[in-house]
Structure 1
C-alpha cells in the first residue's frame, strides 16, 4: 500500500474497520431476525419483513437523515447515549451504524433462505429426543445454515464497504474520521486533476469486493462439503 497517500490509506483502513464492525455487530441480530421470519407465522410478520427490507427501498439519503434525527447529538436516542459517552453522529461509529443498517436486508435475506432450506423434520426429531428449542437451534439449525450465514455476512461486508448515501448524510465526509472509500472517491472526483488518485481507490474497492466474494465462495463450498460428509 506504499503507493497510496496517507489520506488515501486512512480511507481504506477506515472502510475496512467500518465494514467489519458493521458486519460483526449486525450478524447476531440478522440471524435471529432471519430465524423468526423463516420459522414463525404471527400477526405483524409482514410488517417486520417490510421494516427489515425498508433500507433497500428508501433512498439512502432518507435513511441517513432518519439516523441523524434518531442518533444525532440532539436525537431521540443520540442525546441520552451521548451523556454516557456513546456518540454516533459525525463519528466513525456512526458510519458503522449506517453501513450496518443498509447492509442488514441483504444479510437477513441470505440467512433466511439458508434456514428455510434446513429440513424441519431434523429439528422436530431433535425436539422429540428432549432437546430444548435453543439447543435445537444451536446444534441443528445453525450448523446446517452456516454456508448461508457466511454468505450473508460477506454480502453485508461488501455492501458496508460500498455504502455512501446514508453514511455521508449521517456522519459527513471528514478526512481521517468519517471519510470512507466511497466518500474519498467522491471527494477526489470533485477536484480537477485528481482522477488518478480516485482511480487508485476504485481499484482498491474492486480488489477488496472481489476478494471477499471469492473467499466467501471458497469457504461456503468447504463448509457445504463438511456438512454433506
Structure 2
C-alpha cells in the first residue's frame, strides 16, 4: 500500500487545496464550509495549521487546528475522513498530536488540552456527511469520547461561518485535557477562547452573545462524559 503523506497547505493556489475544498463540500453541510476565496488569509496565517492526508495523489483526509500560546490550548477546527479502510483517522490524529506537542514544547509548556465542536446526533439527525460512514456523527462522537474528549456543561451555539448572524445549534463544545483527571475548566478560559476564535466573524447572533455573557458570570464549567 502506498504510504500516506501529511502535507501542510499554506496557499490557496496549492492544487491540494482545491481537492481539499471539494472534499469539504462533499462532507460538511453548506453553512460549515467557508467559500473558496475566503480561505486565502486563513491559509497564510501561521497560527492556523491546515494539513491533508495525501494518498496516491488524492486528498483523502484533512484536518485544521491551531495552538494558542497564551492559553496553552489547541482547537481542532475539523477532521475529514474521506474514505474507510485506509486508517486516515488514526494517521491524522497521530500527526496532529505530535505537531501540537512540539508547538507547546517550543512554548516552554506541556499542552493543557484541546477544544472541539462535536455534533450531537441525538439532538440533530440530519447530517449524513456525504454518506461516508467514518464521518457518521454517532461514530465520530464515540471515537472522540475514546480519545478523551468531554462535554462542557452548558448549552452551546456557534455563529454560522456564513457570517449571516445565524446561531448554529446541534453541537457541544468539548475539551480533551492532557491530564484525564481534569474535571472542569475556568469559565474565563472558555470565554477568552471563544472571543478569540470567533473574532473573524463580525455578525454574531444574539444567542451566542447571551451564551458568552452567561459564561462570564460563572467561575468554572464542569467537563462531562459524551
TM bracket (short chain)? under 0.3
Larger radius of gyration: 1
**Given the two structures, how large is their TM-score scaled by the length of structure 1?**
0.25
Structure with greater strand share of residues:
2
Q: Which has the higher contact order (CA 8 A, sep 6+)?
A: 1
Structure with greater helix share of residues:
1
